[in-house]
Amino acid sequence: MDFGNILINAFGELISPTTAAYALAALGLAVHFGYSGLLNFGQAGFMAVGAYGYAISTLTFGAPLPVAVLVALVSSVVFAIVLGIPTLRLRADYLAIVTIAAAEIVRYIVTTNGLTEVTGSANGLAAFEGSFYALNPFPQGVYNIGPLGMSERNLWIRVVAWTIVVLACLTVWLLMRSPWGRVLKGIREDENAVRALGKNVYAYKMQALVIGGILGSFAGIIFTLPRGAVQPANYATELTFFLYTCLLLGGMATVLGPVIGAMIFWVVLSLTQGLLYGAIEIGAITFLSNVQAGQLRYILVGVALMLLMVFRPQGVLGNKKELAFA
Amino acid sequence: MIEITSSASVEIRLARPTVEVYTLITQPMPARIGGMLLLALGVFASVLLGAPTAHSSPPSAVSVTQRASQVTPAPAPAESAAPENFTDRVSGVLRGVDGPLGGVTVTVSGNGFDGETTSADNGFWQIGVPEQGTYEVLLDENSLPEGVELAEGQANPRTVTFAGTSNATTLFLFGEGIVSQSTSFWDDLAERAVAGFSFGLLLALSAVGLSLIFGTTGLTNFAHGEMVTAGAVLTFAFAAVGMPAPVAIVLAVLGGGLLGYVQDAGLWKPLRRRGTGLVPMMIVSIGLALALRYIIQFNFGGATQQLPGSQSTAISFGSVSISQNNLTSLAVSLVVILGVGFLLLRTRIGKATRAVSDNPALAAASGIDVDAVIRIVWVAGGMLAALGGILWAYYRPGVSYNMGQQILLLIFAGVVLGGLGTVFGALIGSVLVGLFVEISTLWLQADLKYVGALLIMILVLLFRPQGILGRRERIG
């Protein structure tokens, strides 16, 4: 068992583009759930809309990068509005069921064989990342970040991904300390009180849904770019639940919470994987296969989500007064 | 019953493992192989003959795939079409509903090569090609016998790519032709409706439990899908250690009840004591769902297994045929649901349950032991979910670790459609969802059949958010 290697892998997860994508999507959930109290269980759907919007406009219509990103964002805005119209007037549990159903509808539609030409059905789409890497300003070579060596492509995607995360955090921070953000928090605490003050609660909720959805859409693009492929199986309901775990880990009504939560989530997953596989390799654990070790980690995720919710719902950074539920 | 879109994989998935598992469970080693061969032969024979004979009873899985029966492995390649001295070839077998299709013209072109052949009397055709690569295969539809057409969605021409072997096969699937389709629409509709009714009732079993739990505790339980899975997985486990199927099923249902009891006693009751809000409880149930799902996968593996007797004969009523399993499932769920309805309406405990569901504080004040009622509801909900899971395993057919998750949203749709918290609403809503899912396959692609049901749920929430039987109250 090589502890150095395990630690380096864990450090790699800390700055990986997937972590950045989770952080962004969880930040979107913070806007939805943490700040506005909207129980959106369809964030995976927003990510899928972003990823497919980008991939399809690049592959099918040959759109240049800015147009493709724009298409992805506009599609997620449309998705948010279509989703919001019937659901934002509903109680939290109804909202949860409807959003999760909407995300599954998106996944079924991109999986169907009838649209294979456009979506690639279950196999998904690939080879759409060319225009992104064509913009890479780093010359070819090996770059070292701490103990981690990476190619210029990997460096480029990391720089872009984390720049977007930083910008998104700044935006959300500015939004939430603005009057607009205060109204949103007011809606979370007492919708009727805010309504009595003459605010259009429905419109504020819709705006929050759209902003969180745009973050989710960005996350979807960042999630697919390093993989070079977008596959519907990646956007199942589990993804949303993992995002909630990240969000609750960090603290749901905070700006940095989702980012730190995503980092903890992936570092812990990487560490447990490294340690379990290492222990199996040297024969310290004999009752597990490698596959089972992988499943054990997700059992732990589920248990962690339960324990967090029961014992520390405010997460690492959160303030217990600022919970979306009493 | 089962979609016919990708018949090749459907056939293999249904027929092979079923036979294996069935015999594995019921017979000792030597008899197992014999039985396996016999069953496999029976399956092939019934597919090849294609007609339901009086004495032989084709398993349901086979009867489903009959329309795409050309999927059966090729008979020994005939010498009809010489390979033209090429070592690499493109080949296939053409087989319609009534048997092999001979004399059909097939052309292959690509890589600067053109070849043409006609299929032999046993339906086999092959064309030798100079090199491995990608070729375009065109079937001349004019040369097909009358009444035979390519099935819907069958690409023609299509491209075939060699995958490292010297033989590339492609299968053309044939439907029944336009003439017979127009007459069979009402039969199709009736058959879908019966299947949908059966599916809807098994959904209702789980939905009634979910709705009862919601009614009495206010919890939207996302772990209900795993309780459904648990029923099927437990049945498989009990059967695998040698118990007869009925015993295994009864034990699994009891096990589901135990799971409900343990969940309530170990998790939900303490949380209620703490005064945990409904939204946190919902998120806890998601964590529980994830944990349970992966615990099941951890022990059960990722593969799909079959329960004993998962292949059953088809029974025909006039032009409508339903498999025996589906019919049994329909009857069982109907009886159980009527039983639950009777208990709720006519017994003291049923009245107490409805009282708690209506207003827990008032019920407690009038001397009802609310905790006991909730415990009973959890046990009953667990048993109903387990039974629903077992029936779902026969309906799909197959047991897998994520089978409950697959229908969780449909269960929610049924509950929401009927009105959250209303038991009879859950029943009606689930049956509607089941009917809608199955009947929509007449127009929709089979892999989109759940989309329609979910869309309906969203639309209902838009126009009648309290559901069909729900009371009018503010839910926003």
- Interface pTM (ipTM) of the complex? 0.90
Residue A171, pLDDT > 80, answer yes
Structural domains of chain A, count: 1
Average pLDDT of every residue of chain B? 77
The mean per-residue pLDDT over the stretch B342-364 comes to 89
**Domain assignment of residue B196, yes or no:** yes
Is B145 an 8 Å CB contact of chain A? no
Which one, of B105, B63, B33, B107, lies nearest residue B326 by Cα?
A: B63
How far apart are alpha carbons B93 and B173 in whole angstroms?
10
Residue B80, pLDDT > 50, answer no
B139 and B266 share a domain?
Answer: no
Q: Considering only residues A47 and B52, tell me which one the structure prediction assigns the higher pLDDT.
A: A47
B174 and B220 share a domain?
Answer: no
A306–B476 CB contact, under 8 Å: no
How does pLDDT run across A75-125, given as a tens digit for each residue?
999 999 998 887 887 777 788 888 999 999 999 999 888 888 888 878 888
B109: left (phi over 0), alpha (psi -120 to 50) or beta: beta
Determine the residue of chain A that is closest to B458 in CA distance: A98
Task: Band the pLDDT of B175: cuts 50, 70, 90.
Answer: low
Is A238 an 8 Å CB contact of chain B? yes
Residue A240, pLDDT > 90, answer yes
Residue A66, pLDDT > 70, answer yes
Exposed, middle or buried by CB within 10 Å (0-12, 13-18, 19+), for A256? Answer: middle
For residue B441, the model assigns a pLDDT of 85
**Domain assignment of residue B55, yes or no:** no
Residue B9, pLDDT > 50, answer no
Residues of B (203-222) whose Cβ lies below 8 Å from A: 220
Which residue, chain included where needed, has tokens 């096990």?
A: B255
Range from A62-71, B420-429, B436-445 that averages highest in pLDDT: A62-71
Q: Are A16 and A158 in contact (CB under 8 A)?
A: yes
Within 10 angstroms of residue B218's Cβ, the number of other Cβ atoms is 17
Task: Band the pLDDT of A222: cuts 50, 70, 90.
Answer: very high
Task: Compute chain B's Rg from CA coordinates.
Answer: 26
Residue B31, pLDDT > 80, answer no
Rounded alpha-carbon distances, angstroms, from residue B28 to A210, B18, B36, B42, B247:
62, 16, 12, 20, 20
Side-chain-facing half-sphere of B217: CA atoms under 13 Å: 31
B200 and B128 share a domain?
Answer: no
Phi, psi of B321 (to 5 degrees): -115, 145
B316 and B172 share a domain?
Answer: no
B235 and B328 share a domain?
Answer: yes
A326–B291 CB contact, under 8 Å: no
Coil, strand or helix at B187? helix
Task: Band the pLDDT of B76: cuts 50, 70, 90.
Answer: very low
The mean per-residue pLDDT over the stretch A178-201 comes to 92
For residue B473, the model assigns a pLDDT of 57
B461–A94 CB contact, under 8 Å: yes
For residue B376, the model assigns a pLDDT of 94
Residue B82, pLDDT > 60, answer no
B222 and B148 share a domain?
Answer: no
CA distance A317 to chain B (A): 18
Q: By mean pLDDT, which of A82-96, A124-138, A239-253, B368-382 is the weakest?
A: A82-96
CA distance A113 to chain B (A): 7
B210 and B100 share a domain?
Answer: no
Rounded alpha-carbon distances, angstroms, from residue B329 to B63, B160, B247, B467:
18, 42, 16, 27
For residue A325, the model assigns a pLDDT of 62
CA distance B270 to chain A (A): 10
User: Nearest 10 degrees: CA dihedral of B150, B154, B158, B164?
Assistant: -110
Of the residues B121, B153, B181, which one is the last residue of a structural domain? B181
Determine the residue of chain A that is closest to B301 in CA distance: A292
**Domain assignment of residue B449, yes or no:** yes
H-type alpha helices, chain A: 3-14, 17-29, 43-59, 65-87, 92-111, 116-119, 130-133, 152-176, 179-189, 191-196, 201-224, 237-250, 257-281, 290-311
**Domain assignment of residue B29, yes or no:** no
B174 and B199 share a domain?
Answer: no
B246 and B289 share a domain?
Answer: yes
Which one, of A305, A303, A315, A297, lies nearest residue A245 by Cα?
A: A305
For residue B471, the model assigns a pLDDT of 66
Distance of CA B416 to the CA centre of its chain: 22
The mean per-residue pLDDT over the stretch B59-73 comes to 37
**Domain assignment of residue B259, yes or no:** yes
- Which residues of chain A have a CB within 8 Å of the CB of B290? 238, 241, 298-299, 301-302, 305
Residues of A (261-290) whose Cβ lies below 8 Å from B: none
- Which residues of chain B have a CB within 8 Å of the CB of A299? 290-291, 294-295, 298
Q: Do the strands B167-169 and B88-93 form a parallel or antiparallel pair, or are they unpaired?
A: parallel
B324 and B470 share a domain?
Answer: yes
A310–B294 CB contact, under 8 Å: no
How far apart are alpha carbons A65 and A63 in whole angstroms?
7
- The CATH number of the domain holding residue B136 is 2.60.40.10
The residues that bridge with B115 in the sheet, in sequence order, are: B108
DSSP state of B137: E
Residue B13, pLDDT > 70, answer no
- Measure the CA angle with vertex B319, ends B318 and B324; round to 5°: 80
Of the residues B127, B146, B181, which one is the last residue of a structural domain? B181
B475–A90 CB contact, under 8 Å: yes
B287–A309 CB contact, under 8 Å: yes
Q: Show the domain range for B224.
A: 185-474
The residues that bridge with B174 in the sheet, in sequence order, are: B150
- Which residues of chain B have a CB within 8 Å of the CB of A285? none
The mean per-residue pLDDT over the stretch B411-417 comes to 90
How far apart are alpha carbons A143 and A140 in whole angstroms?
9
B416–A94 CB contact, under 8 Å: yes
**Domain assignment of residue B24, yes or no:** no
Coil, strand or helix at B144? coil
- The CATH number of the domain holding residue A184 is 1.10.3470
Residue B47, pLDDT > 60, answer no
B89 and B171 share a domain?
Answer: yes
Residue B39, pLDDT > 60, answer no
Q: Considering only residues B107 and B249, tell me which one the structure prediction assigns the higher pLDDT.
A: B249
How far apart are alpha carbons A236 and B27 in whole angstroms?
40
**Domain assignment of residue B64, yes or no:** no
For residue A141, the model assigns a pLDDT of 86
- The CATH number of the domain holding residue B377 is 1.10.3470
How does pLDDT run across A5-42, given as a tens digit for each residue?
888 888 889 999 999 999 999 999 999 999 998 999 99
Determine the residue of chain A that is closest to B445 in CA distance: A114
Task: Band the pLDDT of B5: cuts 50, 70, 90.
Answer: very low
Name all contacts of B43-50 with Cβ < 8 Å and 24+ positions apart. B43/B15, B43/B19, B44/B72, B47/B72, B48/B72, B48/B99, B50/B97, B50/B98, B50/B99
For residue B75, the model assigns a pLDDT of 38
Q: Show the domain range for A295.
A: 3-323
Side-chain-facing half-sphere of A228: CA atoms under 13 Å: 5
Coil, strand or helix at B460? helix
Average pLDDT of every residue of chain A? 90
Q: Are B188 and B317 in contact (CB under 8 A)?
A: no
Range from A228-232, A313-317, B44-48, B318-322 that averages highest in pLDDT: A228-232
Which one, of B467, B458, B455, B457, lies nearest residue A85 by Cα?
A: B458
The residues that bridge with B305 in the sheet, in sequence order, are: B399
For residue B312, the model assigns a pLDDT of 78
Q: Are A17 and A235 in contact (CB under 8 A)?
A: no
**Domain assignment of residue B417, yes or no:** yes
How does pLDDT run across B100-141, given as a tens digit for each residue?
777 888 888 877 777 888 887 777 888 887 777 777 888 887
End-to-end CA distance of chain B: 38
How far apart are alpha carbons B219 and B385 in whole angstroms?
16
Q: Considering only residues B79 and A43, tell me which one the structure prediction assigns the higher pLDDT.
A: A43
Structural domains of chain B, count: 2
Of the residues B181, B210, B227, which one is the last residue of a structural domain? B181
The residues that bridge with A148 in the sheet, in sequence order, are: A145
Task: Band the pLDDT of A126: cuts 50, 70, 90.
Answer: confident
Which one, of B415, B366, B408, lies nearest residue B388 by Cα?
A: B408
B247 and B332 share a domain?
Answer: yes
